[in-house]
Amino acid sequence: MALSVSSDGSLSASASRTVGDILPLHCCCAVRHCRVYTSLKLAKNAGSHTGLSNHITRCNARPENKTDGMIQGRLFEKKPIVNSEPLLAETRHAIIVWMAQNGHPFTVVDQPGFKEMFTRSFPAMAAVLPSRKMVKDDLQRVHNINRERLGNHLSQHPGVFHISTDGWTDRSGNAFIGIICNWTEVIGTTVKPRSVLIDFAS
């Protein structure tokens, strides 16, 4: 089965490939007293899941199953929306973590494609997506919070610290040198080496 995008932006499927060409499927009947479990790992030109579909239809039609709180097989199950409201703080925090980990510039949040990733499936996200200035402020705020937390944590360590350096070059060819703080924590009988980047320069 192949997926394609139509002119109106909706997804459609064709039967030129099987579902297994895309990903393995694990399906089961979810009625509690039904012991049928079918694991489908579909390869090219494999058969359909008609047998499982027929079983689910028959199983759900039984009187003893109608009040069992059953759901259809997982292949056809619609997942409930846990929270239908956009989460402002969580979204902005996830964005700055993603930017920091991948070296994206502040301006990435102003690109149409970035916004569409959120708003295509959940239009209400348009109200919580940050601007580049908000992202810059968020990064500074998170940096200050983490610096204070790290200082409090290190001040309680009874042992010694070792300072080392680490140099690297990013994908754009910019060279950096980092200052690394290393120490060892003893928790019960477990010894855990720790290290954290405390500063860097380019």
Q: What is the rounded average pLDDT for all residues in the chain?
A: 68
CA distance 133 to 26: 45
Q: What is the band of 173 on the pLDDT scale with cuts at 50, 70, 90?
A: confident
pLDDT value of residue 74: 38
CA distance 65 to 71: 10
% helix / strand / coil in the chain, to the nearest 5? 35, 25, 40
Mean pLDDT over 99-109 rounds to 87
Q: Does 6 have pLDDT greater than 50?
A: no
Q: What is the per-residue pLDDT across 47-98, written as a single tens digit (0 to 9) for each?
A: 444 554 555 566 556 655 554 443 333 333 444 444 555 577 888 888 988 9
Least confident of 20-34, 84-98, 105-119: 20-34
Q: Does 180 have pLDDT greater than 70?
A: yes
Q: What is the DSSP string of 23-50?
A: --EEEE---TT---EEEE---TT---SH
CA distance 51 to 59: 12
Burial class (CB in 10 A: 0-12, 13-18, 19+), 31: buried
Locate the DSSP E strands across the chain.
2-5, 11-14, 25-28, 37-40, 162-169, 175-187, 190-201
Mean pLDDT over 132-151 rounds to 88
CA distance 86 to 50: 38
The whole-angstrom distance between residue 4's C-alpha and the CA centroid of its chain comes to: 24
CA distance 202 to 13: 50
Q: What is the band of 27 on the pLDDT scale with cuts at 50, 70, 90?
A: very low
Q: What is the per-residue pLDDT across 186-195, written as a single tens digit (0 to 9) for each?
A: 888 888 898 8
CB 33 within 8 A of CB 47: no
> Which pTM does this prediction carry?
0.47
pLDDT value of residue 89: 82
Q: What percent of the chain has pLDDT over 90?
A: 4
pLDDT value of residue 144: 87
